[in-house]
Amino acid sequence: MTFDKVLLDHGGGGRASHELIERVFVPRFQNPFLKEMNDSAVFDLNGANLAFTTDSYVVDPIFFPGGDIGSLAVCGTVNDLAMRGAKPYYLSVGFIMEEGFPLKDLEQILLSMERAAQEAGVQIVTGDTKVVPKGAVDKIFINTSGIGLIPKGFNIAGQNAQPGDAVLLSGTLGDHGLTILSKREGLAFESSLKSDAAPLNHLVQEILSTGPEIHVLRDPTRGGLATTLNEIAGQSQVGIEIWEETIPIRDSVSAASEILGLDPLYVANEGKLVAILPQSQAEAVLAVMKKNPYGQDAALIGEVKAENPGKVVLKTIIGGKRLLDMLTGEQLPRIC
């Protein structure tokens, strides 16, 4: 079957999204920056090394435990900049709203954007608002773009993982994605889950202060850790092995995953990062991460290998191994 329409799967952040980007977008706007497929484009402008990124937010529900579409829109873009080692400075924001959207909700969203921006130390310096007829969008969509400065001497990108490197994860997996899913209409689970949405730029600055030898930083958002590691393995042409036992997952998250039949390794996070760096530095960086409130549960979860380039292997608790492929489409809850 061939597709002549965009499906929800194409927005899921997994293989389908990648194919859409590679087949439809990249050939059209060909340039070396886009081809790299990193979180932000990095370029030199008048001697300054800049990172530039954009992202749109369409989360449903718009308010959820641990955040809302506003905090997400700020944190997501701040994090995309931080993952190139950049210190984020300025953000733009565009709103598309459905007519009839309650002003009170808008104000609440703006308040949490303000708070998130303050915490991250960025300013929202330009913006745009559009209102469309009822039903043309679902309540509110937000786009943010951001610009940041990369300190001299750093080159952090998905292409840089090297055999022997350590793989660090800054905290528990799956909190955001499962929170959202549990609130979706039709599933309606009550839970103690909370999104982990947070700006990670300060954590990144602290990591960078340990030295310039950080190879890759990436936030495992849509598609989860498994998809992110696959992207890195592909970009760097290395194999990555991770150890199930060491991966931090909250009991509440693994319980909810169990009930919905999902795998937390494929579930979105909005306040976590993966750091890939030389083994010799792993301990020092881990110690730094653990001191930051967003890195408390940080752990060494695996290593980069020369074998199986482009592939990610999970060593299971019982000692078996399994290939961790990229997320395919949207993860669907299953009962059977």
Single out the residue of 240, 249, 256 nearest to residue 303, CA to CA. Answer: 240
Site string for another protein, 18-37 (x = CB under 8 A): -x------------------
Using CA atoms, how far residue 265 sits from 18, 155, 279, 313, 327, in Å, is 18, 27, 23, 12, 9
Shortest CB 79 distance to another protein, Å: 26
33 backbone dihedrals φ, ψ, rounded to 5°: -70, -50
Surface-to-core class of residue 309, CB atoms within 10 Å of its CB (0-12 exposed, 13-18 middle, 19+ buried): middle
When binding is defined by CB under 8 A, the residue of 27, 102, 135, 320 that contacts another protein is: 320
> Residue 1: how many CB atoms within 10 A of its CB?
2
Single out the residue of 295, 271, 268 nearest to residue 120, CA to CA. Answer: 271
When binding is defined by CB under 8 A, the residue of 151, 212, 261, 293 that contacts another protein is: 261
Question: Per rule CB under 8 A, is residue 316 in the interface with another protein?
Answer: yes
Closest to another protein by CB, 36 vs 330, is: 330
Site string for another protein, 161-190 (x = CB under 8 A): ---------------------x---xxxxx
Q: Which stretch binds another protein (CB under 8 A): 77-85, 164-172, 217-225, 259-267?
A: 259-267
When binding is defined by CB under 8 A, the residue of 107, 128, 213, 245 that contacts another protein is: 245
- Cα 195 to Cα 211: distance, rounded to the nearest angstrom: 31
Asked whether 195 and 177 are in contact (CB, 8 A), the reply is no
Question: Per rule CB under 8 A, is residue 7 in the interface with another protein?
Answer: yes
Shortest CB 7 distance to another protein, Å: 5
When binding is defined by CB under 8 A, the residue of 3, 25, 33, 43 that contacts another protein is: 3
Which tokens in the block code for residue 152?
Answer: 């001299």
Site string for another protein, 275-314 (x = CB under 8 A): ---------------------------------x----xx
When binding is defined by CB under 8 A, the residue of 71, 143, 160, 252 that contacts another protein is: 252
- Cα 3 to Cα 17: distance, rounded to the nearest angstrom: 13
Shortest CB 78 distance to another protein, Å: 29
Shortest CB 315 distance to another protein, Å: 8
Q: Site residues for another protein, window 203-232 (CB under 8 A)?
A: none
- Cα 79 to Cα 176: distance, rounded to the nearest angstrom: 15
Please give the torsion angle defined by the CA atoms of residues 184, 187, 188 and 191, in that order, rounded to the nearest 10 degrees.
-90
Which tokens in the block code for residue 266?
Answer: 């494929």
Positions in the binding site for another protein (CB under 8 A): 1, 3, 5-9, 14-16, 19, 182, 186-193, 245, 251-252, 254-256, 258-261, 263, 308, 313-323, 325, 328-329, 332-336
